[in-house]
Amino acid sequence: MGEQQHVKFPQEVLDEYTALGVDLPALFSAGHLGTRMGVQILEASADKVVGTMPVEGNTQPYGLLHGGASAVLAETLGSVGSMLHGGASKIAVGVDLNCTHHRGVRSGLVTGVATPVHRGRSTATYEIVISDEEGRRVCTARLTCLLRDVRPGDGAPAESAAS
């Protein structure tokens, strides 16, 4: 997994994972794809996940932020929220992602904020709003994750957060 620093977890989340022998901050990352794309998770809880991604390096041939890059940021943030909602005994697996792209961005940093729409026992749905540095909405996404029980061989729950 890619290295991740400065993630803010609520103390009760840290305590839950610590009780299971899991050092959540040490394991936590945006995954290999997120790392290559420069995704940084700034804040993470089941109630709100905030992350950023540079436009540079994530553009399509016309120099605009690639819609797929917005989808990667959205799915990463929504998956993290779903994983934290499910707790250490669940793995969040994305089953539906839709993105509406509102405007193009050519430079700078975009910020995504994921907030829950539905948090159940077997699924979690998050809305992710991605904005440019001026606060203008670039993309609105919705992600639904299946929350399934951890099975032997799945690895640490935090490693499966970014589906």
The residues that are catalytic are: 75
Location of structure tokens 């707790």 = 87
Rama region for 94: left / alpha / beta (φ>0; ψ in -120 to 50; rest): beta
Radius of gyration (C-alpha) of the chain in whole angstroms:
15
Residue 154 CA to its chain's centroid (Å): 19
Location of structure tokens 């159940």 = 120
Q: Provide the pairing of β-strand 137-149 with 123-131.
A: antiparallel
